[in-house]
Structure 1
Amino acid sequence: MESSPEAHALAILKNVWGYDAFRGQQLQIVAHVGAGGNAFVLMPTGGGKSLCYQVPGLMREGLCVVISPLIALMLDQVEALQARGIAAALLNSTLSDSDAATIEQQARDGTLKFLYLAPERLLTLKTIALLRECHIGLFAVDEAHCISQWGHDFRPEYRRLMLIREQWPEVPRIALTASADAPSRADIVRTLDLEQARLFLGSFDRTNIFYKVVPKHDAERQLLDYVAEHAHECGVVYAVSRAKVEALATLLRRHGYNTSIYHAGLSDADRSKNQREFLASKRMVMCATIAFGMGIDKPDVRFVAHVDLPRSMEGYYQETGRGGRDGERAEAWLCYSPGDRYRLRKMILASDSSPPRQRMELFKLDALLGYCESAVCRHQTLVGWFDEAHPGSCGMCDNCVPERTSNLPMNTVPNGHRAAQMALSAAWRLRNAECTHQALLDTLMGRVTDPVWCRDADSLAVFGKGQRMGLRGWQGVLRQLYGLGYLQLDPHQVSALRVSDKAMRALQQREILPITLPAPWAAEPENLPMPDNPSHQTPAERTRTAPRGPYQPVDLTGLSPAATARWHRLRKWRTDIAKSMQLPAYIVLHDRTLLAIAEHDPADLESLALIGGFGPVKLEKYGATVLELLEELRDTVH
């Protein structure tokens, strides 16, 4: 009796990789593709994308052709497959003619199972002719975000991969990426003709990564202080230029750190050597440009530090995802300044990209800066960029852990609701025109430029109502609206902005918009509601619906002396546990839970289980210890 695709996939996983079970959606993906289905897979960095095409490649008869953008990434995959006894090879320009001919013949006669190609190689007439002579069982397009002209790492050659569906329409296709926003996804689907393919969308939330953002004032000193906290660990330090990468590596070496470098200016041999040393090391800091890291599967990277602002949320997400691939705690540390935006803006405008792409890149740059300036949960903001909902209060970022918020240059309470409402109102009123970033600023500031005049924006009720905030204040508000997904690029007209569905729902439901104003602009402009929306609020309503800030001190008023003593003793115990486990304190137990224990003084596990926040897992972990502490305190009192 023939086995099911699921059973076949599990048998291959066990026999080749030695694992008994897949993770997450992997089994559904490999079974679907192994049975001949097309798929589009969005899975976070470190989620195990390679298995999603390698297992189906072994399930299906014929050659699995893998298109991938980097030689180092392909070489890594080929060596890993070969180590498992699987016939895999890479065709590229570094091979001798005889070696290339041998691989081509193996592909023709069916002894080769996996053939890795860069898109440039695939698109040559010679390679197309070769593949026509082969029995192909599967095409896999890795790092598929490179296809999209609106993606953060666009490669023009990837656009021509539509050739796959034209030349081999009957061969199943799987496209995989860890970082594609909604416009990029639509572009990938259209290019590879995956409209009828099954979409597998995993969670983008890397719950084991602690995100921290600090304002830049002395980047070298700040980096040294930060790396000192991770002196015996592996990490990656990203910088914007080759020169800066080399300078930082020299600085770290001078202070005794085992350091290597990686950037496009090195020879292929040097890059490969440095990468291998890093993969094998238990204590090394890799200083690199963004040329480093795509697909690098090193499990024990404990920190990823950016000393310069990245260019997009997708890029930042992908780069920070190189930390903590083993599921253990890792940190993402970003040191930024407004000057970073100025330098990157110059680079974008000086590039040979088309004007629409330049506008898109500037929008994404501002969105990332908005992420830096925001007081909203960073996990919530990051996964929200990929259209995934997140409740916030993650306990794993500087905006959600009270003791880490002191470095933020912003007020910690979202005090920009009305400014955000005014900006959205202006954008909504300009919706029938081309609502660009500049047009929106001009309208809010009351500047009569020719474009504004042509749109009749000066006749709008919002025109000039934001002069009191000033240009820099409004730029900060707009950046946060971009980063939080309240204002988006119009996918049909990339230079134009549109008010997102998320923003419309928030306004209709009278939600407080979590925009934070920097101190110089903390005084809010007058409230101008969105037209035809129930956003009018009385002061009493605003008070009722205003969110609490990231941290509210615990009010011990009214506690008895004994309960107060219990509170302080429990808090000290929690601090010791948190430090030993390298966790934020309220990941162990929340303040509200400790306060309830202090008030009720439970004497047994059954009573303790009734305390909010003390579920079965925490009861098993900490229940006996908490009861012992309480008993000791009772003995002391008596």
Structure 2
Amino acid sequence: MHASSQQSPVNALFDRKLIETPLDALRRIWGYPDFRGKQADVVQHILAGNDALVLFPTGKGKSLCFQLPAVCVAGVTVVVSPLIALMRDQVEELKALGIEAECLSSQQSEDESRTIRSKLRAGKLKLIYVTPERVVLPGFADLFGNVPISLIAIDECHCVSSWGHNFRKDYLGLGKLKELYPGVPRIALTATADPHTRDDIIRQLRLDDAAVFVDSFDRPNITYHIAERDNARTQLLRFLQRHDGSSGIVYCLSRRKVEETATWLNDHGIKARPYHAGMDPGVKADNQDAFRMEEDLCLVATVAFGMGINKPNVRYVAHLDLPSSVEGYYQETGRAGRDGLPSEAFMIYGMQDIVQRQRMIDEGDATDEIKRIERAKLSALLGICETAGCRRKAILAHFGEAAPARCGNCDTCNNPVETWDGSEASIKALAAVYRTGERFGAAHVIDVLLGKVTERTTKFGHDQLAVFGVGKELSVHAWQSVFRQLLALGFIRVAHDEYGALKLEPSAHGVFKKEVAVILRRDTVDVVRKRERGKPVASAARSGISVEDERLFQLLRAKRLEISKELGVAPYVVFPDTTLIAFATVKPTTEREMLSISGVGATKFARYGEQFMEIIADG
């Protein structure tokens, strides 16, 4: 336990016998037979009164690391969470498990807030969720009265770091919790943090003595596909048609594109709704609720949606625009397949995405140091997009984790990419950038390489240059790929203060002198289209169950939806897909058999068990 000059009432909690052992609580309440990964180590560390930084990928059970200790000792656990929707989801799930939990938010009426505060001070709550904005307000400590705090959990803690991808200023004030509640253990949790971000989290939250628990960042159930943009909407439609009847998210960079894409998908038979920060709050809330409640809805959104999303059966995540960083891409794709079932991540990108992202960095109001960080993060993501090797290996390497050379579950592994010696092509490309004065974007430089007589090539006399027409052996498409890869390799950069002009980097000299061999990936539209093809994927059938069991699964799924509508909760709050699949394959018909299924605790069995066993018996 950390030393402190002040003794908090909570200190005594860890010297007394536990209300319930962690494993007993895990089995009784959650219905899980055992811990996963490093969960047990984290829980024991916290129950001993120590601080922790937990870096687990989405789906590895971060929330359990603070929810379980909360029910094992007296007092209340305070959970700091950035989004009201996330708090509401977790409270809903905890109540379904029979755990007393509430959240305090600005969306509640004064009567609702007063009732929650009364329950808190009466010691009737095990967990209370609050936003970071509330924590930094004067008088926050008065909220609890004499109620002992057993644990403070700071979720999505990467928001405290300027190195991270969702920086929030209100998180900067959370370091004061160490002084406000000396002796109370604190746990900070995130799914995405590179080494720089980890160090910043520890410094900002004053977790100097915290143990760091890192689980593998690998999500082997997610298949990664990254495709060169051809016809984005057609590519997206082809992908979504493979996921008919499943829920998923499509991310777009702009609000306008979100609205237009959602409308277009509905017109083409895909049930979709938009979500972005500029929408009417009521409509936005309705669309988010629809996504939580319905099992076949595509939500088209900006990155304003999804941080900490609890829905476990999101079967796909698609990006129509390039994210800002590997961390952002990893977190957003990680919203798929939290239940461990096979899911897909699909991204379309092109040269214009890179130019747009770099312009957003250059025109932003961040400091020069932050801009440098953002450029480095974008370059790292671009490297993953342009790799000829395994996508998963490249992603994991970014987080400092070694991986096999090939994962067998990404596009470049399933359809290996051909490489070619692009040294001569690179020299031509770089020479064209130089000879045109480093004043033009890729489109014009490619026109020069192809020898196209246009108004601009004629106007600037570029049709008289020695490089005019020297690149006719490659197509426009191929040259676009060359320039993207030269950007990824750091031989050129985009100058947005000069209207997106391409500039040579010092490293380009090694290419000109033939001291550096440039090996490029050969990516054509035909190859991309081949990768996108595939058979429709059913939510349960792809887990390997029989046709007969699939039929029973669908009956169970219908019952779950019926119950969820009656209770006004999301279907996954009743039972997740993994539990329904176990019902369909194991076919439990007694209380003992049903309680042996992962995800069936005592409270859920008492509420729903008989209804599902009736369907199993009749099925």
TM-score by length of 1: 0.65
Aligned-partner residue type, residue 167 of structure 1: L
Which residue of structure 2 lines up, in the alignment, with residue 25 of structure 1?
38
Residue deviations 1:178-208 (CA, integer Å, cap 9, x gap): 0011100000011222222111100001111
CA gap 1:31/1:175 in 2 versus in 1, 3 angstroms: same
Supply the distance in 2 between the matched residues of 1:131 and 1:527 (Cα, whole angstroms): 67
Identity score, percent: 42
- The answer to whether the 8 A contact 1:415-1:522 is kept is no
Residue deviations 1:489-509 (CA, integer Å, cap 9, x gap): xxxxxxxxxxxxxxxxxxxxx
Supply the distance in 2 between the matched residues of 1:169 and 1:247 (Cα, whole angstroms): 52
Which residue of structure 1 lines up, in the alignment, with residue 277 of structure 2?
264
CA gap 1:295/1:272 in 2 versus in 1, 3 angstroms: same
- The answer to whether the 8 A contact 1:64-1:140 is kept is yes
In the alignment, is residue 121 of structure 1 matched against residue 122 of structure 2?
no
Which residue of structure 2 lines up, in the alignment, with residue 534 of structure 1?
none
Which residue of structure 1 lines up, in the alignment, with residue 579 of structure 2?
none
Supply the distance in 1 between the matched residues of 2:195 and 2:486 (Cα, whole angstroms): 23
CA gap 1:14/1:268 in 2 versus in 1, 3 angstroms: farther
In the alignment, is residue 211 of structure 1 matched against residue 224 of structure 2?
yes
- The answer to whether the 8 A contact 1:60-1:138 is kept is no
User: 1:342: Cα distance to partner?
Assistant: 1.7
Aligned-partner residue type, residue 145 of structure 1: H
- The answer to whether the 8 A contact 2:86-2:310 is kept is no
**Helix, strand or coil at the partner of 1:44:** coil
- The answer to whether the 8 A contact 1:43-1:203 is kept is yes
Supply the distance in 2 between the matched residues of 1:105 and 1:43 (Cα, whole angstroms): 34
**Helix, strand or coil at the partner of 1:65:** strand
In the alignment, is residue 107 of structure 1 matched against residue 120 of structure 2?
yes
Q: How many positions carry a matched residue from both structures?
A: 451
Which residue of structure 1 lines up, in the alignment, with residue 359 of structure 2?
346
In the alignment, is residue 392 of structure 1 matched against residue 405 of structure 2?
yes
In the alignment, is residue 195 of structure 1 matched against residue 202 of structure 2?
no
In the alignment, is residue 243 of structure 1 matched against residue 256 of structure 2?
yes
Supply the distance in 1 between the matched residues of 2:201 and 2:95 (Cα, whole angstroms): 30
In the alignment, is residue 73 of structure 1 matched against residue 61 of structure 2?
no
Supply the distance in 1 between the matched residues of 2:19 and 2:393 (Cα, whole angstroms): 34
Residue deviations 1:586-624 (CA, integer Å, cap 9, x gap): xxxxxxxxxxxxxxxxxxxxxxxxxxxxxxxxxxxxxxx
User: 1:94: Cα distance to partner?
Assistant: 1.5
Residue deviations 1:217-266 (CA, integer Å, cap 9, x gap): 22112212221222232221110011111111100100111112221123
Supply the distance in 2 between the matched residues of 1:151 and 1:25 (Cα, whole angstroms): 24
Supply the distance in 2 between the matched residues of 1:273 and 1:55 (Cα, whole angstroms): 31
Q: Which moved further from structure 2: 135-144 or 285-294?
A: 285-294
Match of 2:196 among 176, 183, 187: 183
Which residue of structure 2 lines up, in the alignment, with residue 335 of structure 1?
348
Match of 2:391 among 375, 378, 398: 378
Q: Which moved further from structure 2: 260-269 or 63-72?
A: 260-269
Structure 2 gaps of 5+ residues are 1-14, 427-469, 472-478, 492-507, 524-533, 544-619
CA gap 1:333/1:474 in 2 versus in 1, 3 angstroms: closer
Match of 2:237 among 209, 224, 227: 224
In the alignment, is residue 526 of structure 1 matched against residue 514 of structure 2?
yes
Which residue of structure 2 lines up, in the alignment, with residue 479 of structure 1?
488
- The answer to whether the 8 A contact 1:89-1:116 is kept is yes
Supply the distance in 2 between the matched residues of 1:244 and 1:252 (Cα, whole angstroms): 12
Q: Which moved further from structure 2: 275-284 or 115-124?
A: 275-284
- The answer to whether the 8 A contact 1:5-1:31 is kept is no
Match of 1:277 among 290, 313, 320: 290
Which residue of structure 2 lines up, in the alignment, with residue 364 of structure 1?
377
1:552-563 aligned at under 5 Å gives the runs none
- The answer to whether the 8 A contact 1:205-1:383 is kept is yes
Which residue of structure 2 lines up, in the alignment, with residue 152 of structure 1?
165
Q: Which moved further from structure 2: 343-352 or 171-180?
A: 343-352
Which residue of structure 1 lines up, in the alignment, with residue 72 of structure 2?
59
Residue deviations 1:40-65 (CA, integer Å, cap 9, x gap): 10000111111111001112321111
- The answer to whether the 8 A contact 1:241-1:289 is kept is yes
- The answer to whether the 8 A contact 2:361-2:374 is kept is yes
CA gap 1:199/1:62 in 2 versus in 1, 3 angstroms: same
Aligned-partner residue type, residue 61 of structure 1: A
CA gap 1:275/1:77 in 2 versus in 1, 3 angstroms: same
Aligned-partner residue type, residue 55 of structure 1: L
Q: Which moved further from structure 2: 100-109 or 299-308?
A: 100-109
Aligned-partner residue type, residue 526 of structure 1: K
User: 1:395: Cα distance to partner?
Assistant: 0.7
Which residue of structure 1 lines up, in the alignment, with residue 100 of structure 2?
87
Residue deviations 1:326-374 (CA, integer Å, cap 9, x gap): 2222111110011112222222333332222122112212221221111
Supply the distance in 2 between the matched residues of 1:129 and 1:581 (Cα, whole angstroms): 53
Residue deviations 1:102-139 (CA, integer Å, cap 9, x gap): 22232223222211111011111132332464311100
Supply the distance in 2 between the matched residues of 1:366 and 1:414 (Cα, whole angstroms): 22
**Helix, strand or coil at the partner of 1:237:** strand
Supply the distance in 1 between the matched residues of 2:234 and 2:486 (Cα, whole angstroms): 30
- The answer to whether the 8 A contact 2:393-2:404 is kept is yes
Which residue of structure 1 lines up, in the alignment, with residue 419 of structure 2?
412
Superposed CA RMSD in Å reads: 3.7
CA gap 1:173/1:413 in 2 versus in 1, 3 angstroms: farther
Supply the distance in 2 between the matched residues of 1:64 and 1:83 (Cα, whole angstroms): 18
Residue deviations 1:418-472 (CA, integer Å, cap 9, x gap): x9xxxxxxxxxxxxxxxxxxxxxxxxxxxxxxxxxxxxxxxxxxxxxxxx99999
TM-score by length of 2: 0.67
Aligned-partner residue type, residue 328 of structure 1: L
In the alignment, is residue 9 of structure 1 matched against residue 28 of structure 2?
no
Aligned-partner residue type, residue 479 of structure 1: A
Supply the distance in 2 between the matched residues of 1:3 and 1:137 (Cα, whole angstroms): 13
**Helix, strand or coil at the partner of 2:147:** coil
- The answer to whether the 8 A contact 1:142-1:177 is kept is yes
Aligned-partner residue type, residue 219 of structure 1: A
Determine which structure has greater relative contact order: mean sequence separation of CA pairs < 8 Å that are 6+ residues apart, divided by chain length.
2
**Helix, strand or coil at the partner of 2:102:** strand
Aligned-partner residue type, residue 169 of structure 1: P
Supply the distance in 2 between the matched residues of 1:125 and 1:217 (Cα, whole angstroms): 54
CA gap 1:6/1:317 in 2 versus in 1, 3 angstroms: farther
